[in-house]
Amino acid sequence: MVPELVIRPMTRAELDTLVEWAADEGWNPGLNDARIFWDTDPEGFIAAELGGELIGGGSIVSYKGRFGFMGFFIVRPDHRGRGLGRRLWLHRRDRLIARLRAPAVIGMDGVFDMQGFYARGGFVLCNRDLRFEGVGAVAPADSLVDLASVPFAELARYDAAHFPAPRERFLKAWIAQSGSRALGAVQDGVLRGYGVIRPCRQGFKIGPLFAADGDTAEALYRGLGDIAPGAPVFLDVPEDNAQAMALAERHGMREVFGCARMYYGPPPIVPQGEIFGVTTFELG
């Protein structure tokens, strides 16, 4: 008798399993990702179970019902090619739509070869986000400040202007995670950019990297990379930001991966020219 696919809320321990699978796939998750992602929205993770075993899952995180993000979509290799992933993905999409205020707006970063499938599910391409790998280097950060010294209300305001919805709960944990560095660029008392670098299974990832201009982004990139001299550093760059692409080229970074940023519903309006690095492919 063929066991029935059960799609249900994920447990915290199962999210740890999903992170391990992601590491096996080469996604290089952050060392603190599981804890922070879960605490952001404990109801935002869906599991697929077959015969009593976890065989897949993914995130359907809601930011106060105003914006949703689908990520961490993974099916165990021995269960691929059977249509189970399609059922899981459609269930996640519909469940997230139900969690959001109308009209539902959902973002996702999907691998390029799945772009057609996601399009058939109602998602429209916005741009490509390209992952670049470089090397950290010692650099002075005299023009920057520890982000903890910036009033959180100011940081939250700036972040909300560069992300489709407020995400204070996520932000508080993200900038304070162990082994990371969070820096801000302040001019005349006004925050003009900020960035976070966090430890991963391999090296470090920078994200987000938001800045008012290329010079500010350059200072932040250097100041963040100072925490990881000689270590691999990754940055997920929106391809349609020419200044961000130039930053990656200037630092000799090489393209190693990429995703299609797609949206279901009206695409959010954000200052794309000020987004030099997205926060994560998993939560937006």
Reported as half-sphere exposure (CB side, CA atoms, 13 A), residue 213 has a value of: 3
Predicted local confidence at residue 152, as pLDDT? 98
> Which residues, in sequence order, are CB contacts of 54 under 8 Å at separation 6+?
14, 17, 47, 48, 76
Mean pLDDT of 37-43: 97
pLDDT tier at 1, thresholds 50, 70, 90: low
Predicted local confidence at residue 27, as pLDDT? 94
Percent over 90 (pLDDT), the chain: 97
Mean pLDDT of 253-271: 96
Predicted local confidence at residue 270, as pLDDT? 96
Mean pLDDT of 237-254: 98
Q: Are 221 and 251 in contact (CB under 8 A)?
A: yes
d(CA 177, CA 29): 14
Q: Are 110 and 118 in contact (CB under 8 A)?
A: yes
d(CA 71, CA 58): 6
Tokens representing 208 are: 């987000």
Would you list the domain boundaries of the chain? 5-129, 131-258
Residue 26 backbone class (left: φ over 0; alpha: ψ -120 to 50; beta: rest) = left
pTM: 0.96
Into which CATH architecture does domain 5-129 fall?
Answer: 3-Layer(aba) Sandwich (3.40)
Q: Which uninterrupted H or E stretch holds 113?
A: none
Mean pLDDT of 195-209: 98
- Is the four-CA dihedral 160, 133, 18, 127 of positive or negative sign? positive
Mean pLDDT of 189-207: 97
User: Per-residue pLDDT tens for 228-239?
Assistant: 999 999 999 999
User: Per-residue pLDDT tens for 79-133?
Assistant: 999 999 999 999 999 999 999 999 999 999 999 999 999 999 999 999 999 999 9
Fold entry, domain 131-258: Aminopeptidase (3.40.630)
d(CA 57, CA 8): 9
User: Per-residue pLDDT tens for 44-68?
Assistant: 999 999 999 999 999 999 999 999 9
* Alpha-carbon distances, residue 165 vs 32, 62, 82, 106 (angstroms): 22, 10, 36, 11
Topology match between the domains 5-129 and 131-258: yes
User: Per-residue pLDDT tens for 71-80?
Assistant: 999 999 999 9
Predicted local confidence at residue 4, as pLDDT? 92
Tokens representing 207 are: 């994200």
Alpha helical stretches, state H, 103-206: 115-120, 152-160, 168-174
Predicted local confidence at residue 2, as pLDDT? 57
pLDDT tier at 140, thresholds 50, 70, 90: confident
> Would you tell me how many other CB atoms lie within 10 Å of the CB of residue 77?
11
User: Locate tokens 């603190």: which residue?
Assistant: 32
